[in-house]
């Protein structure tokens, strides 16, 4: 080893990798405490009722943009969260998440059968309330709350207990 290096960096190389028990337990206590606090925060956040979280309102479409029996895809509440707005009968619209509750495959509207259908595993959902009609989906589709206004149709939330 270069003598100049030893002079500039006087490290006892034999003790360089040595960690005392006190240092080890201090590190383990801090790491465990950090994990416990993080886990507690996540648990508190997930138990908070989703209905209490505020969601932004999003204009989906103009009422005359969707013909009776037609549908339009939109993203709500965040980008990438696919939803489907359906014009069931004159002046009556419904909206649901477009992700199948089985394995998150996209759900399509079948107007001739008046249902929402998942092609991946032959799952089907009721157009009336999103309940499972057939296939492996374990839960109904989450219903998107919508409001009809003068200037269009707005997504304003997700039905309680359906997120």
- Residue written as tokens 């989703």? 50
pLDDT at 120: 92
Neighbouring CB atoms inside 10 A of 93's CB total 19
C-beta atoms surrounding 101 within 10 Å: 21
Q: pTM surpassing 0.85? A: no
Measured CA angle at 141 (ends 147, 45), to 5 deg: 85
Among 126, 133, 130, 132, smallest CA distance to 142 is for 130
Residue holding tokens 């240092």?
23
pLDDT tens for the 163 residues of the chain, in order: 567 777 777 766 666 667 788 888 999 999 999 999 999 998 887 776 554 456 889 999 998 899 999 999 999 998 889 999 999 999 899 999 999 999 999 999 999 999 999 999 999 999 999 999 999 999 999 999 999 999 999 999 998 765 4
Query: What CA–CA distance (Å, rounded) separates 131 from 116?
Result: 10
3-state secondary structure of 135: coil
- Cα dihedral angle (12, 15, 21, 25), rounded to 10 degrees? 70
pLDDT at 143: 94
The predicted pLDDT at position 45 comes to 77
């Amino acid at each position: 080893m270069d003598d100049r290096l030893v002079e500039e960096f006087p490290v006892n190389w034999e003790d360089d990798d040595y960690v005392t028990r006190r240092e080890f337990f201090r590190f383990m206590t801090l790491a465990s405490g950090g994990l416990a606090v993080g886990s507690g925060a996540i648990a508190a956040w997930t138990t908070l009722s989703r209905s209490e979280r505020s969601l932004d309102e999003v204009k989906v479409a103009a009422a005359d943009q969707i013909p009776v029996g037609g549908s339009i895809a939109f993203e709500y509440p965040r980008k990438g969260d696919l939803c489907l707005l359906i014009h069931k009968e004159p002046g009556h619209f419904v909206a649901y998440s477009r992700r199948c509750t089985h394995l998150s495959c996209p759900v399509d509207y079948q107007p001739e059968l008046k249902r929402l259908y998942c092609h991946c595993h032959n799952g089907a959902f009721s157009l009336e309330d999103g309940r499972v009609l057939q296939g492996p989906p374990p839960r109904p589709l989450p219903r998107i709350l919508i409001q009809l206004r003068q200037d269009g149709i707005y997504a304003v939330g997700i039905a309680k207990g359906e997120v």
